[in-house]
Amino acid sequence: MSSWLPIHCRECYSRTIWHRTYRINRTLLWMALAMTFLFSLHSLLRHLKPDYAHITSVSRYRIHFQWPLGNQTNVDLTNATTFPSHPGTAPASTEGLSEYELGSNGTRRANAVLLMLVRNSELEGALRSVTQLEDRFNHLFGYPWVFLNEVPFTDEFKEKMSAAIAGPVSFGLIPKEDWYQPGWIDEEKAAASRAQMEANNVVYGGSVSYRNMCRFNSGFFYRHPLAQRYKWYWRVEPGVSFHCDTDYDPFLFMEEHDKVYGFTISLQEWPPTVPTLWDAVKEYIAANPQHVAPNNSMAFLSDDGGNSYNMCHFWSNFEIANMEFWRGEVYSKFFEHLESKGGFYYERWGDAPVHSIGAALFARKDQIHFFDDIGYQHPPFMHCPRLHSVRQERNCSCTQYQSFDNNMYSCLRKWEQVVRS
Ligand SMILES: *[C@@H]1O[C@H](CO)[C@@H](O)[C@H](O)[C@H]1NC(C)=O
Ligand SMILES: *[C@@H]1O[C@H](CO)[C@@H](O)[C@H](O)[C@H]1NC(C)=O
Ligand SMILES: *[C@@H]1O[C@H](CO)[C@@H](O)[C@H](O)[C@H]1NC(C)=O
Ligand SMILES: *[C@@H]1O[C@H](CO)[C@@H](O)[C@H](O)[C@H]1NC(C)=O
Ligand SMILES: *[C@@H]1O[C@H](CO)[C@@H](O)[C@H](O)[C@H]1NC(C)=O
């Protein structure tokens, strides 16, 4: 088994886009510059007529949460180590809790977790991400953290991470069968495809470990014993930055508004990684038309009414979403269908397009939320809130000119057209 490549799934997409941006010719580059200028102008003009509707709806949900005191109630955590760094605090448990937990004051807290897939070697970047999210958001709420790895975490990792987090922290091992290439995959066929992709310079085209990760993120993380007892998750990766304060509870916001999936950045997938993904999707839809949600966002994924995929997806290294949606019958059947095609190994299907297609087709479009107010950076891309007033109120350390929203490969404009239609 070759070791994990030192880069996470999403970075691959970033690199792909990077690659592509540099390969387009000079004329296109100038056009892009001109477009960026026009968009900046456009954004500037929008400031003169700001739309405060979103902010006002969000500020209603500002709740300062106190962690309830109590004893730890552990579920069976196969081979997981739990480090409650503050004795006397309790991680969320599903027992007796349907949707919310009640704080000691009757303040509500969602049944939610901050979730990171990470390797021991990524400790430094992981600490940076965690420290920032604690500082910008979680110190007000004390949501538990769960870290997952396909090898056991080292003592150093667990100790340093626990020291950086005030609330409960758990470290889990990923079951082998959820991680490694399944035995029924025709390795000869998979190897030929990897060689071909490598020859075509597809980023991670030759990597098996990378494919393991994309498959795990697509269909397994939410079934891990440590994730199983939560409903909501915020996916965090090592080496990311949070540029603004979040003083309301985004999980409760999602819950209150019947949302299932939240994103900050959307962009286009690199086509050679998903040549037959859309065929598999169409096959699933044809066999299970009843699963497709009314008022879905097919128009975000396809420009021709579902005939072909336009490569738009939500960048899944940031997700605030409902795991019950992934665990539900519809997405589970959808994932099994994709899994049966072997495309995670015969091609290089990413969890970003898979999650995005699932959310866009099986949820209503109003159940997908764009977290404009969360400044987020996963190098090389960042999203910064668009309104000056929001950046100011939330103490953002970013500017809109750095925002990927203005990039020609961003799918945000398409998303907003879909929402408006
Ligand atoms: C925690 O458990 C201990 C022993 O099981 C018990 O004495 C104590 O009262 C419990 N504390 C709370 C807050 O439930
Ligand atoms: C809890 O309730 C008390 C009395 O109602 C109040 O003074 C206190 O500020 C509350 N704490 C929080 C965190 O809301
Ligand atoms: C947990 O550990 C036991 C004993 O070390 C081992 O047999 C089992 O396969 C492990 N389970 C997982 C899910 O790794
Ligand atoms: C779909 O959207 C239309 C118009 O926005 C609305 O009237 C209808 O109730 C929606 N249907 C469902 C099932 O949400
Ligand atoms: C921005 O910073 C100020 C000063 O530290 C703080 O009072 C305020 O709550 C912060 N804004 C948010 C949205 O947290």
Q: Per the structure block, which two tokens stand in for 25? A: 């010719």
Number of H helices, E strands in the chain: 18, 15
Separation of alpha carbons 374 and 268, rounded Å: 21
- Residue 229 corresponds to which tokens in the numbers above? 């007892």
Could you give the residue ranges of the DSSP H alpha helices within 49-110? 53-59
Ligand 1 first shell, C-beta below 6 A: 69-71
- Whole-angstrom Cα distance, residue 116 to residue 228? 14
- Angle, CA of 190, 183 and 3, to the nearest 5°: 65
Catalytic residue set:
319
Q: How far apart are CA 306 and CA 281, in angstroms?
A: 10
pLDDT, residue 31, reads: 72
**Residue from 333, 318, 331, 338 nearest 358 by CA:** 331
Dig out the tokens for 177 from the structure.
């069968």
pLDDT in tens, the chain (421 residues): 333 333 444 444 455 555 554 455 566 667 767 777 666 665 554 444 333 223 322 332 322 222 222 222 333 333 344 443 333 333 344 343 333 454 434 467 899 999 999 999 999 999 999 999 999 999 999 999 999 999 999 999 999 999 999 899 999 999 999 999 999 999 999 999 999 999 999 999 999 999 999 999 999 999 999 999 999 999 999 999 999 999 999 999 999 999 999 999 999 999 999 999 999 999 999 999 999 999 999 999 999 999 999 999 999 999 999 999 999 999 999 999 999 999 999 999 999 999 999 999 999 999 999 999 999 999 999 999 999 999 999 999 999 998 999 999 999 999 999 999 8
The pLDDT of residue 55 is 30
Q: Are 383 and 376 in contact (CB under 8 A)?
A: yes
With a 6 A CB cut-off, is 421 part of the ligand 4 pocket?
A: no
How far is it, in rounded angstroms, from Cα 261 to Cα 255? 11
3-class secondary-structure state, position 233: strand
Which-ligand-closest: CA of 294?
Answer: 4
* Predicted pLDDT of residue 269: 94
Contacts of 417 (CB under 8 A, 6+ apart): 299
Q: How far is CA 292 from CA 107, 341, 419, in A?
A: 36, 20, 17
What DSSP string describes 97-163? -SSEEE-TTS-EEESEEEEEE--GGGHHHHHHHHHHHHHHTGGGT---EEEEESSPPPHHHHHHHHH
What is the pLDDT at residue 27?
Answer: 61
For 176-202, b/e burial (b = at least 16 CB within 10 A) is eebbbbeeebeeeebeebbeebeeeeb
CB 315 within 8 A of CB 266: yes
* pLDDT for residue 122: 97
Q: Which residues pair with 109 in a beta bridge?
A: 101
The CATH code belonging to domain 9-22+52-420 is 3.90.550.10
- What pLDDT score was predicted for residue 62? 28
In this prediction, residue 34 carries a pLDDT of 73
From the CA of 293, give the closest atom in ligand 4: 13
Please tell me the number of the ligand nearest to residue 367's CA.
4
Contact 355, 218 (CB under 8 A): yes
Please tell me what DSSP assigns to residue 410: B
Name 239's Cβ contacts closer than 8 Å, sequence gap at least 6. 122, 125, 126, 128, 129, 378, 379
The confidence score (pLDDT) of residue 108 equals: 77
SS3 content of the chain, % helix, strand, coil (to 5): 45, 15, 40
pTM: 0.75
The helix or strand, by DSSP H or E, that contains position 173, with its residue range, turns out to be strand 168-173
DSSP letter at 380 equals T
What spacing in Å lies between the alpha carbon of 290 and ligand 3's midpoint?
40
CA of 143 relative to ligand 2 center, distance in Å: 19
Q: Domain ranges in the chain?
A: 9-22+52-420
pLDDT in tens, 242-300: 999 999 999 999 999 999 999 999 999 999 999 999 999 999 999 999 999 999 999 99
Residues in the chain: 421
71 CA from centroid of ligand 1 (Å): 6
